[in-house]
């Protein structure tokens, strides 16, 4: 085997891939492996697929994050779909968790993924095979999870060519160490254990955190509590799901905007947020800009703030027996409960720390996926990222890339180049956020991986083939389907779906079904194409974009 074959993980015929977890990432990985001719074996510790989206009244053993009954997706159905499997017409633009879960089941059924999943089997340990130095192979120890019907939990060890870690990013609830918390006599909960506001009726409650869980929990509890204090560290940027005309805010994620200079994007975002709600007047302003600060996608909290049911406070300095003191010197007393909506820590306990360090700052994942220190590209971590933008497209494109690397079609660069990427990414993070972080911006990140995969659509290449499609790809919302237009494993229905996707978003909310010719009218197309071509040529001349 040549050294380049080794980096590609070898070239044997059917390569076995262990996939840990059957959430969104695990499902995307099974499908990607099948597309690449690999043999996936997926282990899921629970009795159902979906990961976070599989709701149970009580958290399941070993479960990380949970969702609550009232949870509605913060991204549109189009941005929460796999690239070649559109969401159903009956689904509303924003999905209750039940519909996300049924979509995942339908995806698994359609592509016959279920037969590759072993349910009720936990991965306990993954380590290098004896001949790892030459083969890059892995040993995986699994054990059935004990249930009332199955008491046999004897472990089993198997050899795999490659491993895809899809065990979820939100592993352990994080509660900050705040002085005095242990003395506080009220209820203390993490948003992971929150499941409805009933127990807070008439109570004085504080929610700590400035992101999506904090927004959802504070807005819901405020419906029944006497008052909710929302303690935010350095402000938060509030985004409604819907912009003007009920257009989903998701639809602002466009290649044309992406290519604007960063300073202009910041100004535009700031203006958009403040146009919805003046952040200073409602106590949400902070020092960070909306790209890198806390963001909260929420449509109700503004009304609760405006009616005094939610009151913002700065970060808690210390708790007392019955209340809290804040960093600005203000205090609250007779506080009944504190809900920490302060997020989660990543934990991948089945991998040794020399493969994947425990500390996020030391992770050293090339392009947030491949442990850069390993001599073989046979292990990938999927979904170990936070996203500024929708996460589904990121999980899917990562899965496709990992499978393509494992099949030998997409070799990774040499170790020195990977280290160079890590160094420059660390510096970028530190200068922008002030620390090493797992955050990525959805569109630029996906574009980068899509380039590696050969599936990044090019405006100029699409223009002669189908000008309207080129227009939509560059100026329209960057839907996941765009990554099935060109390159390996493209989907024959992709172009048509790109043209229908905006219309499909509203398919369940319109009074009557729309006729296809409405959105594909020849006149509209001609006008748009002429307009687009002129704009793009002008733009190209002025700022020299290279699309």
Ligand X SMILES: NC(=O)c1ccc[n+]([C@@H]2O[C@H](COP(=O)([O-])OP(=O)(O)OC[C@H]3O[C@@H](n4cnc5c(N)ncnc54)[C@H](OP(=O)(O)O)[C@@H]3O)[C@@H](O)[C@H]2O)c1
Ligand Y SMILES: Cc1cc2nc3c(=O)[nH]c(=O)nc-3n(C[C@H](O)[C@H](O)[C@H](O)COP(=O)(O)OP(=O)(O)OC[C@H]3O[C@@H](n4cnc5c(N)ncnc54)[C@H](O)[C@@H]3O)c2cc1C
x/- contact string, 56-75, with ligand Y (CB under 6 A)? --------xx-x---x-xxx
Q: Residue 163's closest CA among 410, 402, 521, 3?
A: 402
Of the candidate spans 203-211, 422-430, 489-497, 531-539, the one that interacts with ligand X by CB under 6 A turns out to be 203-211
Which one of ligand X, ligand Y, none is in contact with 233 (Cβ closer than 5 to 8 A by kind)? ligand X
Dihedrals phi, psi of 101, to nearest 5 degrees: -65, -45
CB of 58 to ligand Y, least distance (A): 15
Which one of ligand Y, ligand X, none is in contact with 319 (Cβ closer than 5 to 8 A by kind)? none
Of 85, 138, 160, 170, the one binding ligand Y by CB under 6 A: 170
Number of shown-chain residues binding ligand Y (CB under 6 A): 35
E strand or H helix at 502: helix 494-505
Of the candidate spans 71-79, 196-204, 260-268, 360-368, the one that interacts with ligand X by CB under 6 A turns out to be 71-79
SS3 state at 227:
strand
Which one of ligand X, ligand Y, none is in contact with 208 (Cβ closer than 5 to 8 A by kind)? ligand X
Q: Is-contact 485 495, C-beta < 8 A?
A: yes
**Residue 48: Cβ within 10 Å count:** 18
SS3 state at 125:
strand
Spatial separation of the C-alpha atoms in residues 214 and 301, rounded to whole Å: 10
Of 392, 445, 468, 474, the one binding ligand Y by CB under 6 A: 392
Question: Which of positions 337-356 make contact with ligand Y (CB under 6 A)?
Answer: 350
296 binds ligand Y (CB under 6 A): no
Of 6, 7, 15, 25, the one binding ligand Y by CB under 6 A: 25
Which one of ligand Y, ligand X, none is in contact with 383 (Cβ closer than 5 to 8 A by kind)? ligand Y
Smaller CB distance to ligand Y: residue 218 or 332? 218
- Indicate the residue whose CB is closest to ligand Y: 51
- Indicate the residue whose CB is closest to ligand X: 343
Spatial separation of the C-alpha atoms in residues 506 and 95, rounded to whole Å: 12
342 binds ligand X (CB under 6 A): yes
Give the position of tokens 């947030």: 368
The string of DSSP letters for 208-246 reads E-SSHHHHHHHHHHTTTSSEEEEE-SS--EEE-SB-GGG
Helix axes 392-406, 442-453, angle to 10 degrees: 20
Of 51, 209, 390, 393, the one binding ligand X by CB under 6 A: 209
Of 391, 470, 478, 500, the one binding ligand Y by CB under 6 A: 391
Q: Residue 77's closest CA among 64, 92, 62, 55?
A: 92
x/- contact string, 104-123, with ligand Y (CB under 6 A)? ------------------xx
Which one of ligand Y, ligand X, none is in contact with 230 (Cβ closer than 5 to 8 A by kind)? none
195 binds ligand Y (CB under 6 A): no
The string of DSSP letters for 453-471 reads HT----HHHHHHH-HHHHH
CB of 63 to ligand Y, least distance (A): 7
Tokens for 198, please give them.
């009933």
CB of 428 to ligand Y, least distance (A): 24
Burial state string for 488-500 with b = 16 or more CB within 10 A and e = fewer than 16: ebbeeebbebbbb
> In Å, what is the CA distance from 189 to each residue of 143, 205, 217, 341?
32, 11, 12, 9
Give the position of tokens 């405020």: 222
315 binds ligand X (CB under 6 A): yes
CB of 170 to ligand X, least distance (A): 6
Spatial separation of the C-alpha atoms in residues 443 and 452, rounded to whole Å: 14
235 binds ligand X (CB under 6 A): no
74 binds ligand X (CB under 6 A): yes
Question: Which of positions 214-233 make contact with ligand X (CB under 6 A)?
Answer: 214, 216, 233
For residue 156, what are the β-bridge partners?
142
CB of 186 to ligand Y, least distance (A): 23
Question: Which of positions 172-191 make contact with ligand X (CB under 6 A)?
Answer: 176, 191
In the chain, the N- to C-terminal Cα span, in Å, equals 39
Q: Kindly calculate the radius of gyration of the chain based on its CA atoms and give it in whole angstroms.
A: 24
Spatial separation of the C-alpha atoms in residues 26 and 60, rounded to whole Å: 18
Q: In Å, how far from its chain's centre is CA 293? A: 17
Total residue length of the chain: 547
Of 17, 18, 19, 20, the one binding ligand Y by CB under 6 A: 20
Smaller CB distance to ligand X: residue 91 or 455? 91
Of the candidate spans 17-25, 152-160, 235-243, 365-373, the one that interacts with ligand Y by CB under 6 A turns out to be 17-25
Residues in contact with 250: Cβ distance below 8 Å, sequence separation at least 6, in sequence order: 75, 76, 78, 79, 390, 477
Rule CB under 6 A: which residues touch ligand X? 71-74, 170, 176, 191, 208-214, 216, 233-234, 294, 315, 341-343
The site for ligand Y (CB under 6 A) is made up of 20-26, 43-46, 51-53, 64-65, 67, 71, 73-75, 80, 122-123, 166-168, 170, 213, 350, 383, 390-392, 395
């Amino acid at each position: 085997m040549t050294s380049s074959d080794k980096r590609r993980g070898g070239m044997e015929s059917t390569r076995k891939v262990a996939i840990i977890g059957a959430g969104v990432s695990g499902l995307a990985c099974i499908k990607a492996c099948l597309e690449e001719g690999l043999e996936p074996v997926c282990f899921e510790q629970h009795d159902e697929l979906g990961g976070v989206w599989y709701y149970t009244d009580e958290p399941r053993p070993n479960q990380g994050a949970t969702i609550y009954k009232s949870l509605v997706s913060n991204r549109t159905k189009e941005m929460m779909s796999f690239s070649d499997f559109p969401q159903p017409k009956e689904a509303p633009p924003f999905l209750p968790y039940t519909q996300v879960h049924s979509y995942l089941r339908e995806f698994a059924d359609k592509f016959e993924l279920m037969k590759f999943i072993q349910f009720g089997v936990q991965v306990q340990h993954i380590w290098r095979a004896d001949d790892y130095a030459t083969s890059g192979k892995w040993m995986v120890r699994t054990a059935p999870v004990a249930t009332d019907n199955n008491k046999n939990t004897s472990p089993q060890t198997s050899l795999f060519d490659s491993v895809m870690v899809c065990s979820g990013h939100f592993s352990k609830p994080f509660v900050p160490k705040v002085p005095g918390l242990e003395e506080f006599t009220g209820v203390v909960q993490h948003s992971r254990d929150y499941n409805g506001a009933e127990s807070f009726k008439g109570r004085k409650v504080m929610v700590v955190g400035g992101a999506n869980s904090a927004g959802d929990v504070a807005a819901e509890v405020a419906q029944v509590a006497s008052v909710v204090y929302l303690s935010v560290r350095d402000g938060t940027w509030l985004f409604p799901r819907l912009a003007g005309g009920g257009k989903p805010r998701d639809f602002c994620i466009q290649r044309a905007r992406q290519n604007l200079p960063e300073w202009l994007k910041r100004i535009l975002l700031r203006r958009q947020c403040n146009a919805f709600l003046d952040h200073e007047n409602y106590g949400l302003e902070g020092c960070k800009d909306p790209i890198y600060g806390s963001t909260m996608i929420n449509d109700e909290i503004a009304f609760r703030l405006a009616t005094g049911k939610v009151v913002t406070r700065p970060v808690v300095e210390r708790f007392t027996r019955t209340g809290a003191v804040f960093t600005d010197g203000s205090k609250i007393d007779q506080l009944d409960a504190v809900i920490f909506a302060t997020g989660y820590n990543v934990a991948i306990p089945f991998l040794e720390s020399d493969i994947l360090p425990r500390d996020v700052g030391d992770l050293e994942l090339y392009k947030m996926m491949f442990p850069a220190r390993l001599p073989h590209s046979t292990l990938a971590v999927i979904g170990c990222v936070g996203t500024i933008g929708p996460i589904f497209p990121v999980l899917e494109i990562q899965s496709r890339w990992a499978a393509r690397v494992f099949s030998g079609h997409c070799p990774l660069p040499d170790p020195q180049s990977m280290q160079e990427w890590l160094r420059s990414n660390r510096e970028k993070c530190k200068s922008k956020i002030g620390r090493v972080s797992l955050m990525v911006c959805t569109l630029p990140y996906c574009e980068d991986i899509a380039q590696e995969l050969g599936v990044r659509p090019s405006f100029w290449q699409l223009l002669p083939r189908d000008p309207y499609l080129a227009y939509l790809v560059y100026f329209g919302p960057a839907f996941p389907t765009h990554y099935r237009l060109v390159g390996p494993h493209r989907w024959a229905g992709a172009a048509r779906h790109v043209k229908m996707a905006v219309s499909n978003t509203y398919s369940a909310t319109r009074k009557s079904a729309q006729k296809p010719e409405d959105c594909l009218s020849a006149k509209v197309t001609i006008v748009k194409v002429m307009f687009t071509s002129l704009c793009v040529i002008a733009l190209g001349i002025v700022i020299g974009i290279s699309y």
